[in-house]
Amino acid sequence: MDWDDMRVFLQVARAESLTAAGRRLGLDPATVGRRVARLEDRLGAALFVKSPQGYALTERGERLRAHVADAETALKLGAEEGAEAEGLRGQIRIGAPDGAANYLLPQVCAAIQEDNPDLEVQILALPRVVNLSKREADMAITVSPPSAGRLTVQKVTDYTLHLAMRRDTVVPLDIAAAAHLPLVGYIPDMIFDRELDYLDAVGRNAVQLASNSVAVQVQMLRQGGIGIVHDFALPSAPELRRVLMDEVSLRRAFYLVRHAADRKSERINAFAERLISGLKSEVARLERAVSLTEQADMEEA
C-alpha cells in the first residue's frame, strides 16, 4: 500500500475537507480527491461519506484512520531516535484557552525556543476545546481534564482568579453593593468549559459586557465595571486591581493533554517537561508580582 496515499487519507480525515487537507499537503483539492478515490478503489470500500458539510469517515474509514495514525506516530518516533541529544527541533503546536495563550505561553515558549534554535513553536488560541484527535495541535492546555479519548493528562499548576476593577474607581463595600456595576465576563452561550462559568460566584445571572476572549474582557475592564480576572493577567493591566478578595476568590487548574500515542516520543516528552516547568514558574512569578504590587500600594496608603 502506498504510504503517500495513506498520508493524504489521514489529512482528509482530520480536516474533513479536500480543500483544507490540500492546504496542509501542498496539493490542490482535485488531486486530493483523486488520491482518496484511488485508495478507496484499491481497498474496495468507501472511506468517506461526502456531503455539502464535508467529508465524514465511514465505519471502515474510522478503523483505517486509527491504524494509519499509529503508523504515522511510529514513523515520527523512528525519525526522532537520538535527536534529543542535538536539542529540540521541528514544529510543535500547542492549543490553549485564551488566558493561557495570551498571558503565559508567549514568554514560556520563547524561553524554550531560545534554548532550541531549530524548534518552531506555534500557539493555537481557540475559544473552545482543541481537537487533538484531528491533530489540530500536538498538545493542549485545558482547564478541565478530558474524560474520553486516547489521551494522556498531566496537571500543570493551580491558578487563582479574583474580581478586578479600575484603580481610579471606588471599591464597593461588598458584592451586594457592586450590583449596580456592569459585569464583565464570558458570553454565556459560548462558555466551552464549566470551569469558566463564574456567574454563581459573583451572585449574578447575566453579564453586561461580554466576550469569549480573556484579553478583550481585560480591555473592557479598563473602561470600567467589575469582573473576574486571572491573577496572572493583572501585571499586564496595571490600571486594574483586585477587589473584594475576602468574598470572591476562585481557584482553577491547567492540565496538559497529549496524544497517548506520543508518550514514547522523546522530543514531545522533553518539550512537555520544559513547558510544564515553565508554566508553573510563570504563574507563580506573575501571581507573586500582583501581591507585591498590592503590598506596595498599602504601604504608600
Task: Quote the pLDDT of residue 81.
Answer: 59
Which residue in this structure is represented by grid cell 473552545?
128
Burial (CB < 10 A; 0-12, 13-18, 19+), residue 113, is middle
Task: Quote the pLDDT of residue 136.
Answer: 83
**Tens digits of residue pLDDT in 12-64:** 888 888 998 888 889 988 999 898 988 988 888 899 998 888 888 998 988 88
Is the predicted pLDDT of residue 144 greater than 90, yes or no? yes
Percent of the chain exceeding pLDDT 70 equals: 96
Domain 3-80 in CATH 3.30.70.1060: no
- Please tell me the least confidently modeled range out of 46-60, 172-186, 214-228, 235-249: 46-60
Q: Strand 183-185 vs strand 139-142: parallel, antiparallel, or unpaired? A: unpaired
**DSSP secondary structure of 239-293:** TEEEE-TTT-EEEEEEEEEEEGGGGG-HHHHHHHHHHHHHHHHHHHHHHHHHHHH
> CATH topology for 89-156+254-287?
D-Maltodextrin-Binding Protein; domain 2 (3.40.190)
Other beta carbons less than 10 A from residue 114's beta carbon: 9
**Amino acid found at 280:** K
Task: Quote the pLDDT of residue 82.
Answer: 53
In this prediction, residues 141-148 reach a mean pLDDT of 89
Highest mean pLDDT among 50-54, 86-90, 162-166, 191-195: 162-166
In the chain, where the domains are located: 3-80, 89-156+254-287, 157-252
Task: Quote the pLDDT of residue 80.
Answer: 60
Secondary structure (3-state) at 54: strand
8-state DSSP, 91:
E
CA distances from 119 to 93, 94, 251 (A): 11, 13, 33
Nearest to 98 by CA among 212, 253, 240: 212
> CATH topology for 157-252?
D-Maltodextrin-Binding Protein; domain 2 (3.40.190)
**Tens digits of residue pLDDT in 97-111:** 999 999 999 999 999
In this prediction, residues 149-172 reach a mean pLDDT of 94
**Tens digits of residue pLDDT in 240-275:** 999 999 999 999 999 999 988 788 788 899 999 999
Is the predicted pLDDT of residue 129 greater than 70, yes or no? yes
Other beta carbons less than 10 A from residue 196's beta carbon: 21
Q: Which helix (H) or strand (E) holds 137?
A: none
Is the predicted pLDDT of residue 86 greater than 60, yes or no? no
In this prediction, residues 175-188 reach a mean pLDDT of 94
Residues 6+ apart with CB under 8 A from 33: 18
- The full length of the chain comes to 301
Q: Examine domains 3-80 and 157-252 and report if their fold is the same.
A: no
